[in-house]
A and B are shown apart, each in its own frame.
Chain A
Amino acid sequence: MECRDVLDRLSPFVDDELDPVASREISQHLKSCPSCTAALARQRELGESLRRDLEYHRAPDLLRARVMREVRGAERREVAPSRFPALPWRWLSAAAAVAAVVGGTWMVATLPRDRGDEATAREAVSGHIRSLMANHLTDVASTDQHTVKPWFSGKLDFSPPVTDFAGADYPLTGGRLDYLQGHPVAALVYMHRKHVINVFLWPTAGAREQQAAAVTQRGFHVIHGTHAGMAYWVVSDLNAEELASFARMLAASPGRP
Chain B
Amino acid sequence: MTHERRPETGNPPRRLSPEEQERFNERVLPHLDAAYNLARYLLRDPHEAEEAVQDAFLRAIRHFDGFRGADGRAWLLSIVRNTCFTQFRRRRSGGEQVEFDEEIHSVEDETSEPEADFTRSIAEQSVREGLGRLAVEFREVLVLRELEGLSYKEIAQVAGVPIGTVMSRLARGRKQLLLALGAGAKEND
Chain A interface residues (CB < 8 Å from chain B): 7-8, 10-12, 15, 17, 35, 38-39, 42-43, 45-47, 49-51, 53-60, 62-64, 66-68, 70-73, 76-78, 133-134, 193-195, 237
Contacts and interface: CB of A to CB of B under 8 A. Distances in A.
B57 interface: yes
Contacts of B16: 71-73
A11 B13 CA distance: 44
Contacts of A35: 186
B189 to A, nearest CB: 10
A81 B171 CA distance: 46
A206 B159 CA distance: 61
A68 B58 CA distance: 11
Contact of B53 (A49, A59, A73, A76): A59
Given A12-B171, A54-B127, A59-B36, A72 B147 contact: no
B37 A57 contact: yes
Contact of A12 (B21, B123, B152): B152
Given A11-B170, A46-B174, A71-B24, A54 B29 contact: no
**Which of under 10, 10 to 19, 20 to 34, or 35 or more describes the interface residues of B?**
35 or more
Contact of B127 (A8, A11, A49): A49
Nearest to B64: A71
Contacts of A73: 13-16, 61
Contact of B54 (A10, A51, A56, A70): A70
A50 B57 contact: no
Given A67-B54, A77-B5, 4 more contacts: A12-B152, A42-B184, A54-B127, A73-B15
A11 B29 contact: no
Contact of B37 (A7, A45, A58, A78): A58
B178 interface: yes
A54 B131 contact: yes
Contact of B13 (A39, A62, A76): A76
Contacts of B26: 194
B133 to A, nearest CB: 14
A103 B33 CA distance: 45
Contacts of A58: 33, 36-37
A46 B21 contact: no
Nearest to A16: B151
A42 to B, nearest CB: 5
A54 B178 contact: no
Nearest to B23: A194
A66 B51 CA distance: 11
Interface string B157-189: 000000000010011001101100101101100
Interface in B14-64: 14-16, 21-22, 24-26, 29, 32-33, 35-37, 40-41, 46, 49-50, 53-54, 57-58, 61
A11 B58 contact: no
A66 B187 CA distance: 47
B3 interface: no
A68 B61 CA distance: 11
B178 A42 contact: yes
A194 B36 contact: no
Interface string B133-160: 0000000001101110001100000000
A11 B167 contact: yes
Contacts of B25: 71, 194-195, 237
A17 B167 contact: yes
Given A15-B152, A66-B54, A46 B40 contact: no
B52 to A, nearest CB: 10
20 contacts: A10-B171, A11-B167, A11-B174, A12-B152, A12-B170, A38-B186, A43-B174, A46-B183, A50-B146, A51-B146, A54-B127, A54-B146, A56-B33, A58-B36, A63-B50, A71-B25, A72-B16, A73-B61, A76-B9, A193-B22
